[in-house]
Structure 1
């Protein structure tokens, strides 16, 4: 706890607060000389400075200890069980069978059943916190489910080695993760065995080659911590280039264009179109207008699939989807209204 150090800080500050009024009172009574008063004042200030530095050091030590504790908690986390031999999926159809999943004590998914056929485009939609992102991350086996099964080509993903499963899946998240390394290495993480020509080809396909070449150091530009030296649109396109380079047959897009400005969105959409050609695609959709032509829409609410079908069917048969679509259309047409007032002077 930082309470002892905070208490110590108050007591040190009180040292000066005590010296000043008591010293002035003694001076006014003639019982203390000015040189003696100044001496005690300087000693008080001189004593406080190293003590305050000591308090700061204590705080840093406490924060470091807490950080180390969290790091070791992660390092000591038990790994997901791996099969001795990896099964071979018949195809790339994804299926959830009565899946339940909880984050600690909070139940997120409740009896989810769904099928994403190979080569299809499926959209997950629903209110915030309904479980869409959790479904996407369970496909990549970020965690194991509490009960039920997740199948890939008829094989439980628990019977696939993690490396074999991840090699079949590329994920483009809304929150892009870039490392404090060069643009070249951040793209090549999608396929560490790729050569320079393949990396550049992926960058061109993701519409980011031009802005990379415009930088003073080109592909060797350091992007900074979490891509701090790049704009949000540039970060997203590099993330898509990484996914293109991976050449995975299953693509998961987690609201990849949710907060991108219109100028960047057109380029990112073009990059996504290149990425998904001939792939099994799962989209977590933020803008409903972008998924009206997909093969199927899965509507998620409170951890359950409460609607399934094409856009037109859900619009006519599902009240929640109809409300979401109406809210989306109203938001698209929303504008500021400026009322002009006219003053009449008699």
Structure 2
């Protein structure tokens, strides 16, 4: 977590070698990622971005892109773990429905859940989530959060988030600002230090309270000022 432009996505992108560190090193299993065969590294890392694109293929093939030899049953299990049962149920041909032009279209939050199903099917030991809930509506965000529980089981998950509520339960929170680590610790530990994270959390809570208050005022106004 950290302010916009603090280096969160850049830092996470060093793991799958979207680019390399100019100094220092990134180790996976004690080995510098630059010394790992790129194909082997990709087998060990799955990533979900804030904006994901689906292919003009069936839903099953979109999920199966992570593991082409997966069976239909394995695809269905990954979709269920990613909270996509409602998506499958509404499509005319289920997982065999074509997506895109001439087929079915999914909302941004639904696309995110399909992308999570793809990551779950890949079964990689390291998962990078870059703002995976950024453009999801509240209903889809709740489902995505449930999918995270399946995705995180037995894996190392690197999650980049603006919504601090999504990282409260993390084993370790790293606060980045201007490309440098400012603080690390659990949610409780960081709050007790009254540093950058504590300030960000206070701002997050104020923003949440403001939205609730604004909604309440609209309700009162709609009722002609009655409490």
User: Do both share a fold (TM > 0.5)?
Assistant: yes
Q: Secondary structure at the match of 1:330?
A: helix
- Matches of 1:327 and 1:176 in 2, distance apart? 29
Task: Kindly indicate which of the two structures has a greater share of residues assigned to strand.
Answer: 1
Work out whether residues 252 and 281 of structure 1, in 8 Å CA contact, stay in contact via their aligned partners in 2.
yes
Superposed, which structure 2 residues align to 1:1-346 within 5 Å? Answer: 125-224=1-100, 229-334=105-210, 335-336=213-214, 337=217
- Matches of 1:198 and 1:176 in 2, distance apart? 21
Q: How far is the alpha carbon of 1:318 from its aligned partner?
A: 4.4
Pick 1 or 2: higher relative contact order, CA cutoff 8 A, min separation 6: 2
Residue matched to 1:102: none
Q: How far is the alpha carbon of 1:177 from its aligned partner?
A: 2.2
Of residues 149-158 and 310-319 in structure 1, the stretch that sits farther from structure 2 once superposed is 310-319
The count of residues paired between Structure 1 and Structure 2 equals 217
- Matches of 1:327 and 1:167 in 2, distance apart? 39
Gap regions ≥5 residues in structure 2: none
Deviations 1:34-67 (CA, angstroms, capped at 9, x unpaired): xxxxxxxxxxxxxxxxxxxxxxxxxxxxxxxxxx
Work out whether residues 307 and 318 of structure 1, in 8 Å CA contact, stay in contact via their aligned partners in 2.
no
Change (3 A) 1:131 1:203: same
Gap regions ≥5 residues in structure 1: 1-124
- Matches of 2:108 and 2:176 in 1, distance apart? 28
**Which structure has the larger Rg over C-alpha atoms?**
1
Work out whether residues 169 and 250 of structure 1, in 8 Å CA contact, stay in contact via their aligned partners in 2.
yes
- Matches of 2:165 and 2:79 in 1, distance apart? 27
Quote the RMSD (CA, aligned, Å): 2.1
- Matches of 1:308 and 1:216 in 2, distance apart? 48
Residue matched to 1:67: none
Q: How far is the alpha carbon of 1:303 from its aligned partner?
A: 0.5
Of residues 125-134 and 332-341 in structure 1, the stretch that sits farther from structure 2 once superposed is 332-341
Q: Secondary structure at the match of 1:170?
A: strand
Give the TM-score normalised by structure 2: 0.88
